Structure 1
Amino acid sequence: MGGAQQAGALSPGIRFGYATGSVATGAFGTVPGLMLLPFLTDSLGVAAIWAGLIVFAPKAWDVVLNPIAGRISDRSTDPRGPRRPFLLRGGLALAVCFALLFVGPDLGSTLADALWVLLAFLACATAYAFFQVPYVSMPAEITSSYDERTRLMAWRVAVLAFTILLAGASAPAIRDAVGGRDGYRVMGVAMAVIIAIGVLGSYYGTRRAPFTALDAGAGSVRDQLRVVAGARDFRLLLTTFVLQALATGSMLAGVDYLAGDVLERDGASTILFVCFVGPALVLTPLWARFGTRFGKRTGYLVSSVILAGGAALSAVALLDSAAALVFVAVALVGVGYAGAQVFPMAMLPDAAAADAKRTGENRAGVFTGVWTAGETLGLAAGPALYALVLALGDYRSSTDGDAVQPDSALTAIVLGFSLLPALLTLISLFWLSRYRLTEADL
């Protein structure tokens, strides 16, 4: 399709069709970060430090794989659209592997059970790379409009927020309703179905989307990575986003521990998720308007400060045992999180489009591969970092989740959920403040 067609707004059907892919990315990005560490420590009896390594290692593999997946999808010439076939193949494989992650049999030893989880999670990470990278690459190719990308990301983040709420609230509820290992098994299958729905929705929902036909960048993957590494604004944006993904991953990993060991309230995990994600369902369109009026970079800065402020406030509330204020603080985190998702996701295709304008070659997949590798690494390192904080606090693992925790472990649970994410988010603003790419550069 020609550039004139792409310059206009996309239809609501295409926007929603594209956004449904966030059902898959949201479920896979949320549930392992929320449930996998407690599954390992409190159901399989794996020590916290080793559980953190199991959660981290498979996604670290994506740091290598994602740029390769991006390069492969850049070279696709499928008449259905250069990225769409990958959505179907990678996405359905992800759904199957995700079910296997929690459906594993009782192998009779902690070591064998841990190895099953490690291998299944590695398979999930591999399949996810070939879904996520092509999916996130698409906005740079289906519209050339600077503001339309913000609107498209607003739709995507709204669906993402809804999915995080749905998956984050229902996964613990399903586990608790069934109980024990079987509870995790039923939950895993249910989440796999949700992932498959998102995959099919994005594949069929983008069948009428326009796309830019540019030649893939010449040279090897290493050559392409060298070009991407030379994009200054992309490097600054990526560093900011990875640090914030690390902060988000740490908070997600702490929800179950916070609800069970600190707040000790029935349904606290669900309430925390509603407080975290609920604001995003309402405020995402407002963040998009804010970005259109004041600029994406300004919007990202403001939303990040709000996110960090909410995380810091939650520390004060938790240390003062003010449960009601904890939920208010987490809602404030949710307000910031909505903007801190909309803006970087809208700025990424700008960076890829600026490179395409400058060189006449398509490297959207490689840019996205590096981006998603960084995001995946941050989200995986978050639970690993949280597990390290738990280990330093002498957290006691068990096979029934009933271990009595010392005060040092309770303090670690609080700090890993609150002050650590706040500090990481504030540090990330050093790089974001130096970002300079604007609409004039596109």
Structure 2
Amino acid sequence: MPADKDRKPGDRLGNKELLGFAVGGLPLNLGVESLKQLAYPVYNIILGVNPAAIGLILMIARLIDAFLDPLIGWLSDNSRSRWGRRRPYVALGSVLCGLTFPLVWFVPADTTETHAIAYFAATAFLYYLAVSVYQVSYMTLGMELTPDYAERTRVMASRTVFGATSGLILAWVFRIAQADMFSDPLTGMRVVGMVLGGIFIATGVPAALASRERYHKLAETQEKQPVLRSLTGAFRYSSFRILMVLTLVIVFCTQSVNALGVYVTTYYVYGGDIKAAATMTAWYGTVTLFATWAALPILTWAARRWGKTRALAVTMAVGCLGAILKWFLFQPEFPYAQLVVACFVAPANAGFWVLVNAMKADMCDWDELKTGLRREGMFAAVSAWLQKLAAAMTFSFAGFVLVCTGFDQAKGGAQASDTLLHIRIVFAFVPAAAYILGIAMLRWYPLSPTVMTEVRAELEAKRAAV
């Protein structure tokens, strides 16, 4: 493993640049998670919209968004401006997210279900388009901040410090929207939505201003690549294919059941008490944040000590244990026991994305060695595309599970026992199986610390260090 003493001057980011970039992790995670976590409580529980329809809209919106990602990545790779290839898109995307997110919650309270579905579909499509612009460009920017193998993990971990804060914010959003200061929860959601829109802009734009693109000058002279050639070129490497299959498995099997958590807490643990369940969900998000923060220094140390692949395997083992504990600790007899689950699930989730994203940056060095091109935009776009493809299926899956298990929002806390049993089985054991499969897949991942040290040496023998 490359030691600190082997790190070259300039590899380590200064605190100002690191902080400026890391703050952008907040709108990144808000963009990915907000609609997924809030659509069901607002449109199903408050407005009574069929959960299957909500899931279908989210799935279609994410699929459209996903297919735009490669185009945005290609545009970013082939852009030439005095501000760089990535930073203009980061700033633009954050502003668009800030403007479109509040629109989702301004659905008329007295509208019909059909009109509510149409309104949600239109605003969700607009919002996810903005998310795509920000997400792809911001993820790409993170790959360019340092050429050092270990420092890349530190960069991604720092981003996660702020990204995890989004979990705390989203955990309390639905509860705050029900505060007595608002005439009704939908009005509260509109006010909170506008506040979150401001957060998108206030934290996304500084990320663009503070960061420095290391490979900007190097890429100015490279030939512009056709979009299809760039897209297919990303899949030529076995290491990238392994990372993408791993991402598909983990995203689908963990995120597909996350939306079920609010139903397990509301209807199994609290017997239909929406306000009590929202409070518990908020506390769960709070514990998630602090568990993530506590785990990040350990994660960074483990990646430096053992390498990213071994650290990722240990992270997924922790996630598997946390998933199994859901079955035992989400119980009406001791509702606060579920907070223990957050201490396992949160570090596993954060650790997975820190390490996988750092490994994608290594992949870009390998690609440059083989092709002479810097194509971070395309690798980030393809990654986001597959991630959103899996996420789109999760939206549909959650609604499908609710319908197939016989869940009926009109019954409130009087749901059938078999309905709750089947939801709990999916909630606990689907992600556990995914983590086990993911650990097995890592046996074939080839880009070890030793390999990446050799790759960097070869690159810097051909061109100047960045």
State TM-score, norm by structure 1.
0.92
Q: 1:173 aligns with which of 161, 172, 175?
A: 175
Gaps of 5+ in 1: none
Shift of 1:402: 4.1
Measure, in 2, the Cα distance between the counterparts of 1:378 and 1:314: 23
| TM-superposed deviation, 1:78 | 1.4
Partner of 1:263: 269
Instruction: Check the 8 A contact 1:287/1:338 in 2, yes or no.
Output: no
Find out whether 1:31 has 2:37 as its counterpart: no
Aligned residues: 435
RMSD: 2.2
Contact 1:46 1:397 in 2 (8 A): no
1:99-138 to structure 2, matched below 5 A, reads 99-106=102-109, 108-138=111-141
Q: 1:15 to 1:157 in 2, by over 3 A?
A: same
Structure-2 separation of matches of 1:338 and 1:51: 27
Most deviating of 145-154 and 173-182: 173-182
User: 1:176 and 1:54 mapped to 2: Cα distance?
Assistant: 25
What SS does structure 2 have at the residue aligned with 1:200? helix
Displacement after TM superposition at 1:106 (Å): 4.0
5 Å-filtered alignment, 1:126-275, equals 126-165=129-168, 167-177=169-179, 178=182, 179-206=184-211, 208=212, 210-212=214-216, 213-214=218-219, 215=221, 218-264=224-270, 265=276, 267-275=279-287
Is the aligned partner of 1:96 residue 2:99? yes
SS in 1 for 2:83: coil
Amino acid corresponding to residue 420 of structure 2 in structure 1: L
2:439 is equivalent to residue 429 of structure 1: yes
Relative to structure 1, the CA distance from residue 409 to residue 189 in structure 2 (aligned partners, 3 Å threshold; closer, same or farther) is: farther
What's the offset of the Cα at 1:379?
A: 3.0
Question: Is the 2:267–2:412 Cα contact (8 Å) retained in structure 1?
Answer: no
TM-score (structure 2 length as normaliser): 0.88
Who is 1:379 aligned against?
391
Q: How many angstroms apart in 1 are the aligned matches of 2:254 and 2:200?
A: 21
Per the alignment, in what secondary structure is the counterpart of residue 349 of structure 2?
Answer: helix
Deviation string 1:222-265 (CA, Å, 9 cap, x unpaired) is 11111111111011011112222223423431232233212214
For 1:428, give the aligned amino acid: G
Contact 1:304 1:425 in 2 (8 A): yes
Please state whether the residue corresponding to 1:144 is helix, strand or coil. coil
- Give the SS at the match of 1:79: coil
Change (3 A) 1:107 1:353: farther
Name the aligned partner's letter for residue 330 of structure 1.
Answer: A
SS across alignment from 2:160: helix
Instruction: Assess if the C-alpha contact under 8 Å between 2:143 and 2:358 holds in 1.
Output: no
CA distance in 2, matches of 1:80, 1:424: 41
Q: Deviations 1:264-299 (Å, cap 9, x if unpaired)?
A: 145111122123332111111210111000000111
Higher Rg: 2
Amino acid at match of 2:18: R
Alignment check: 8 A CA contact 1:40 1:51 kept: yes
Aligned position for 2:4: none
Identity within the alignment, %: 22
Amino acid at match of 1:41: N
Q: Is the 8 A contact 2:330 2:338 kept in 1?
A: yes
Q: Taking structure 1 as reference, are residues 57 and 376 closer, same or farther at Cα in structure 2, changes over 3 Å only?
A: same
Equivalents in 1 of 2:72, 2:438: separation in Å? 27
Contact 2:323–2:432, Cα closer than 8 Å, also in 1: yes
Amino acid at match of 1:115: A
AA of the residue aligned to 2:447: L
